[in-house]
Amino acid sequence: MLREVKRELHTDRLLLRAPQPGDGKQVNKAIQSSIHELSQWLPFAYQNPSAEDTEINTRKAAAQFLSRENLRYLMFSKKNGEFIGSTGFHNIDWDIPKLEIGYWIDTRYSGKGYMLEAVEALTDYALTDLEMARVEIQCDRDNSRSRAIPEKLEYRLEGTIVNDDRSVDGGMLTDTCVYARINPGLEPGVEKEIMENEEINQHILKEFFNNNWGSPQMVLSSGSFQCDRLPGYTIVLDGSILGCVTFVADEQFEIISLNSVKEGAGIGTELMDQAESYARSLGYKEVKLTTTNDNLKAVRFYQNRGFRVTDIRKDAVIEARKRKPGIPEYNDRGIPIQDEWILVKEL
């Protein structure tokens, strides 16, 4: 059976969706506006395709998406609906499983972080939902802009293959840089285990929260909690804690904390699955959680899991800071941390 694959992915600013008939015209328009830059690296642009050529290619991509041979995603701005670029999963081996991410962008939109945003979302999706053991990005050694994407997303440069290809005009040999992200939960020889928090030594849990988040104390508008003393689940990988979820099962089933030290490895997804399964077993009809206004990545993660924002508690973090002065006033992007966002998922 073919794997279930999302036809649409969402980021803060972008809609990524599978190609469909009729997309060729706007894709070709982007190619033509960027032909000088794209033709240096991509054979299809060097050949300067017509609108009809691009439409044929786009329809082939739509068919390949259905057969799961290749999974191309077209990038559109959520703000104005404009086509921005193309990315997706290529050279897929479902048996390993592994794949490669490729991408190009309309030059008019380059330098705004759109491609970084898209590839980050694809990487997370590949390693978590699709459970890929390996995600790879290959770039020409001299294509510094393309190489900047995997480097910023903490891909590891595994090596440079010398004389691996020819330039698009066939005039010279080129070298290929191979970057990869490995799913740590699927590395050979490593044992991963989900344990109930009560099975973990409390001192070890407390040290985990201290080392990674400064303190086990969580101050919310719903109360103050010591996360190292709450029920929940912990993922242990080769003797080390990779993530922990804690919750309170009272009048409501409320997630208090969700922490992972390895982003994009499926740790948060696995912990949430376990917590939601436990909530169902207790007869709860919904799960509630709280995050802060600046944590848009977390909001995206929860919304992709079916959570909806049901309330915004203005200045709640400002009040919490009076009880826990260590709560920062700004995040690492300079956004003021002020409000709580309440999210709820029906089970």
In the sheet that 192-196 helps form, which strands lie side by side, from edge to edge? 192-196, 232-237, 240-249, 253-260, 286-292, 340-346, 308-313
Phi, psi for residue 143 in degrees, rounded to 5 = -90, 80
Would you say how long the chain is, in residues?
A: 347
Give the residue-averaged pLDDT of 124-138.
Answer: 92
Residue 303 binned pLDDT confidence (cut-offs 50, 70, 90): confident
pLDDT averaged over the chain?
Answer: 91
Q: 328-341: per-residue pLDDT in tens?
A: 898 877 889 999 99
Phi, psi for residue 90 in degrees, rounded to 5 = -130, 170
Give the residue-averaged pLDDT of 70-85.
Answer: 96
- The confidence score (pLDDT) of residue 190 equals 56
Decide if pLDDT at 111 tops 80. Answer: yes
Residue 263 binned pLDDT confidence (cut-offs 50, 70, 90): low
Using CA atoms, how far apart are residues 197 and 52, in angstroms rounded to an integer? Answer: 59
The count of other CB atoms within 10 Å of the CB of residue 89 is: 23
Residue 186 binned pLDDT confidence (cut-offs 50, 70, 90): low
Using CA atoms, how far apart are residues 258 and 154, in angstroms rounded to an integer? Answer: 22
CB 227 within 8 A of CB 216: yes
Phi, psi for residue 193 in degrees, rounded to 5 = -140, 135
Residue 84 binned pLDDT confidence (cut-offs 50, 70, 90): very high
Task: Find the DSSP H helices in the chain.
Answer: 24-33, 35-38, 43-46, 51-67, 114-127, 144-152, 202-213, 267-281, 296-304, 316-323
- The confidence score (pLDDT) of residue 270 equals 87
Q: Which amino acid appears at position 302 of this protein? A: Y
- The confidence score (pLDDT) of residue 187 equals 59
DSSP one-letter code for 306? T
- The confidence score (pLDDT) of residue 266 equals 73
Determine which of 57-71, 116-130, 153-167, 293-307 has the lowest per-residue pLDDT on average. 293-307
Phi/psi class of residue 238: alpha, beta or left (left: φ > 0; alpha: ψ in -120 to 50)? left
pLDDT: is 229 or 191 the higher one? 229
Using CA atoms, how far apart are residues 257 and 244, in angstroms rounded to an integer? Answer: 8
Burial class (CB in 10 A: 0-12, 13-18, 19+), 144: exposed
Using CA atoms, how far apart are residues 264 and 193, in angstroms rounded to an integer? Answer: 18
Token pair in block for residue 18: 């599978």
Determine which of 25-39, 66-80, 330-344 has the lowest per-residue pLDDT on average. 330-344
